[in-house]
A and B are shown apart, each in its own frame.
Chain A
């Protein structure tokens, strides 16, 4: 009865940090101890990786100490996690130490795996082939863009799903803007290459985004399933034999969950953990919960999604502890600003069943933000997101007027349910 129970959070990134901040208000010693484990010392604001290559943000804007965001009554263990043994309710660290848990929260995120494609991490890696999904990659690309004199820029997605699926499009838009400002837009051909048939996965947003690509003179190549990067001839080649030449390739490699999930036998073929999409409970172990990019639920892999999930998961964990049924509440709500360059952005708000449409946000009919329409206000919203992230999201504060489940008010749906 008096034995202290233990909740362990794996990963102190966006989602894990939010969970630590939520849970410590509810679970206290001597009944509960909360531990969070991460191998890193630094917390990276990943949405900033989009702006780093263009010199819009500096490294110090997007890197802070993990310790600044973890509450004092939560124990932070800075160690690599080797594996989880869910049947024994134990986490094993890389140093061999074992930690027992009563409840486990998996928030180990997703990362790039360029080694999945032949030649991607070849001799041209970080010479003419770059990623911007890592801090190192975005920084190396910034240095390249400073001196690049122009040619064929290819912005490329390897395969879905990826984190923040609009980020590569935003990269293409910002590149257009960047080269305009440098007075060299005429020296750069921009091509957007995707394994999807169009610019995005949802029809209405795809139409809007393709119109913008066209307006900015960016060519789109769809249905491209890459087989290899030809380093010598600087081409990407797909399984059907289609070839696209580049002088500068900015690719989003395959995204995968951490290898630790493979070592633990907890992941699918991409190391994502099978999870109930409405409750966020693991499909295989009752006392394991998953949020953020680490899960396999069909929602966007985005910080905003993790924020909505964290509010719902906190409630579900408290219910689980009391032995009450879990709330099947998560609806896949995502809310993303899409930078479109030249000081503008658009905003999309959607969930499992409702695609992004036009309208106003967060106040129906009033805005001030416009859905699926470019505006300067939206751009300021995107830049404000950094402040909100560091000061509100990570600390688990509720964002006023924005609910965890999606609101249909003020949105122009033509039918009630789409997809």
Chain B
């Protein structure tokens, strides 16, 4: 489906995740973050950039791996993206929601 994000029509799935990363830019990230009541600081961007790189290298994402990445620890990850940090952060980063296995 299409959704207007930051003034542009963007293709998203039923949960609001971008289905085409090429449509993502920092403005889109900020707009999705604002919907979750998060205003992005440099620390948020460190995490977002890290997640995008991992996704590009096809590394499966998990809270455990983020916690051991050296980019943030899990505590800080939660304080940056409250409640369900990996789901929120991947949505802002414009990458798919991590499939938490079977």
Contacts and interface: CB of A to CB of B under 8 A. Distances in A.
Interface of A: 159-161, 165, 195-197, 201-202, 223, 225, 227, 239-240, 269-270, 298-300, 332, 334, 350, 419
Contact of B83 (A160, A223, A270, A300): A223
12 contacts: A165-B101, A197-B84, A197-B87, A225-B63, A225-B78, A239-B74, A240-B78, A240-B82, A240-B83, A269-B64, A298-B101, A300-B102
A81 to B, nearest CB: 26
A201 B97 CA distance: 12
Interface of A is mostly: loop
Contacts of A270: 64
A179 B7 CA distance: 56
Interface size class of B (residues with CB under 8 A): 10 to 19
B75 interface: yes
A201 B63 contact: no
Interface of B: 62-65, 68, 74-75, 77-78, 82-85, 87, 99-102
A227 B63 CA distance: 12
A269 B102 contact: no
B12 to A, nearest CB: 17
A201 B100 contact: yes
A159 B63 contact: yes
Contact of A334 (B74, B83, B99, B102): B102
B64 to A, nearest CB: 6
B100 A160 contact: yes
B59 to A, nearest CB: 10
Given A195-B63, A239-B63, A419-B99, 8 more contacts: A165-B102, A197-B84, A239-B74, A239-B77, A239-B85, A269-B65, A299-B102, A350-B102
A227 B67 CA distance: 12
B83 to A, nearest CB: 6
Most chain B beta-carbon neighbours within 10 Å: one of A161, A225, A332: A225
Contacts of B87: 197, 223
Given A159-B64, A240-B83, A269-B64, A225 B74 contact: yes
The 4 A-B residue pairs whose C-beta atoms are closest, nearest first, are A161-B101, A239-B78, A223-B84, A300-B102
A258 to B, nearest CB: 18
A78 B62 CA distance: 36
A239 B75 contact: yes
A201 B84 contact: no
Contacts of B78: 225, 239-240
A384 B13 CA distance: 41
A20 B83 CA distance: 47
Given A227-B74, A239-B74, A240-B83, A201 B101 contact: yes
A225 B101 CA distance: 15
B3 to A, nearest CB: 20
